[in-house]
């Protein structure tokens, strides 16, 4: 499992490397607002600890003006650990301990306080919930063998952070949006209805998942790799008791299926928005074509550059998109308060950066950006807030992780400031790669 975890970290690092290398600069050049960490001092009394026993934390950027009574909470993402060995390793990193986390983070995208980059939520109170439990804020157990002690307390961390925020104004929220990216996007499915129980009855409360719609997919070796992974995760971290009881009853005797958004979605009562790529890069690399299913590396070139995929591989990718849309079809047709933005970019998490959230070159469906679609859905502007893009390769608005072609990339960066900008980026990216690989 340690090797698998290292491969996962390496892949994530490569994804970040390629993504930033081929992305344009921010709209304004502003690197974003840095927000300091707040440790939840009362968390210990609730038994709410990170994997290593450190206190949980969040970052709060206060709202102002007309948004001072509105709240946006974002779950941080960062994968999971589903066995003791990987959780022990994770507890020694920023993914399992606040001791190793940066004490300030940059708020961009949906967390930005810049009206031009985030017009609907810029002046809201915005909170980033740091992720240190390895189970999408859903576990409630612990492990000890005399030498190692691990706290699987994600559910208690969620409760402790909310209780810490209530006296800071959350208890009087007029409007609220619960969101998250990747494993944090999955958290949004798990905690959406519970979130409303803390807030005033007359508050407008909605939820949005970004890149959190993880499919119960069959991989290229005809195995359900993600199902096996989540089954182990739910068992190890004591998640079952925190899953939606209506869902677990419906899916008895396999309650762990309710960790998958596609199965729990129909039981969520609150208005929900699903932002996802139909070719989500993380799921492509770890659900559809996990290393265990491609030991000979036949998919390596395709993973690095979709233009190198052969016809059979492209058919498999189109099949994955078809499966995702099939899993969403009931929601698409029957949800009267739901929203969607399912595009065809090879991407993972699109609400956290200006480039993809809202910029002159951000992804669009029917000429609407992600930020515009989410805003229209939240505030009830217009009738249609369920957008599904056309299949690859027709979408020309993507910030694809893979450029259209190497020659196009070289040609577009052969002169002037663009070349200098890329050179600076690539230097930074090399350091980023070393950091991920060595940790």
Q: Is 280 considered catalytic here?
A: yes
Q: Which of 334, 306, 335 is nearest to 321 (CA)?
A: 306
Active site residue 244: no
Q: Distance of alpha carbon 140 from its chain centroid, rounded? A: 21
- Radius of gyration, alpha carbons of the chain: 21
Half-sphere exposure of 144 (CA within 13 A, CB side): 7
DSSP state of 99: G
> Do 220 and 228 touch, CB atoms closer than 8 A?
no
Residue 182 appears among annotated catalytic residues? yes
Out of 182, 187, 344, 359, the active site residue is: 182
d(CA 303, CA 309): 8
Residues facing residue 59 across a β-bridge: 37, 128
Q: Which of 348, 359, 362, 376 is catalytic?
A: 348
End-to-end CA separation in angstroms for the chain: 15
105 close to 164: Cβ distance less than 8 angstroms: no
339 contact partners, CB below 8 Å, separation of at least 6: 208, 271, 272, 273, 274, 373, 374, 377, 385, 386
Between the alpha carbon of residue 406 and those of residues 265, 318, 324, 400, the distances in Å are 40, 23, 30, 13
Q: DSSP string spanning 298-325?
A: TTHHHHH-GGG--HHHHHHHHHHHHHHH
* Inter-helix orientation angle 183-196/154-165, to 10°: 60
52, 244, 280, 376: which is the annotated catalytic residue?
280
Kind and range of the H or E element at 426?
A: helix 416-438
Q: Which residues are catalytic?
A: 182, 280, 348
């Amino acid at each position: 499992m340690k090797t698998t975890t290292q491969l996962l970290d390496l892949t994530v690092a490569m994804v970040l490397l390629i993504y930033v290398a081929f992305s344009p600069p921010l709209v304004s050049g502003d690197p974003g607002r840095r927000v300091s960490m707040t440790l939840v001092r009362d968390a210990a009394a609730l038994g709410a600890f990170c994997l290593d026993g450190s206190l949980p934390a969040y970052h709060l950027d206060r709202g102002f003006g007309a948004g001072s009574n509105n709240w946006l909470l974002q779950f941080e993402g960062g994968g999971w650990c589903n066995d003791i060995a990987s959780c022990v390793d994770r507890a020694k990193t920023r993914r399992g301990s606040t001791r190793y986390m940066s004490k300030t983070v940059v708020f961009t995208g949906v967390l930005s306080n810049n009206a031009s980059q985030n017009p609907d939520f810029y002046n809201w109170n915005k909170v980033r919930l740091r992720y240190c439990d390895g189970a999408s804020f859903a576990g409630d157990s612990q492990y000890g063998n005399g030498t190692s002690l691990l706290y699987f307390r994600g559910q208690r961390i969620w409760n402790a952070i909310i209780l810490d925020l209530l006296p800071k104004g959350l208890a009087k929220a007029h409007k609220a949006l619960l969101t998250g990216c990747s494993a944090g996007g999955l958290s949004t499915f798990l905690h959406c209805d519970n979130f409303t129980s803390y807030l005033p009855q007359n508050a407008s409360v909605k939820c949005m998942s970004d890149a959190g719609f993880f499919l119960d997919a069959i991989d290229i070796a005809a195995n359900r790799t993600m199902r096996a992974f989540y089954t182990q995760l739910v068992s190890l971290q004591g998640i079952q008791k925190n899953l939606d009881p209506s869902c677990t009853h419906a899916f008895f005797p396999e309650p762990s299926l309710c960790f998958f958004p596609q199965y729990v979605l129909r039981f969520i009562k609150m208005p929900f928005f699903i932002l996802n790529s139909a070719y989500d890069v993380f799921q492509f690399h770890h659900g559809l074509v996990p290393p265990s299913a491609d030991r000979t590396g036949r998919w390596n070139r395709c993973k690095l550059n979709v233009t190198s995929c052969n016809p059979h591989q492209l058919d498999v990718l189109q099949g994955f998109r078809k499966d995702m849309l099939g899993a969403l079809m009931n929601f698409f047709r029957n949800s009267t308060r739901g929203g969607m933005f399912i595009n065809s970019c090879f991407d993972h998490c699109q609400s956290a950066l200006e480039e993809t959230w809202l910029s002159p070159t951000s992804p669009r469906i029917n000429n609407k950006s992600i930020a515009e679609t989410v805003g229209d859905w939240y505030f009830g502007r217009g009738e249609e807030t369920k957008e599904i893009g056309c299949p690859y390769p027709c979408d020309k608005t993507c910030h694809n992780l893979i450029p259209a072609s190497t020659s196009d990339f070289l040609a577009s960066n052969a002169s002037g400031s663009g070349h200098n900008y890329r050179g600076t980026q690539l230097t930074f990216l090399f350091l980023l790669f070393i950091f991920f690989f060595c940790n």
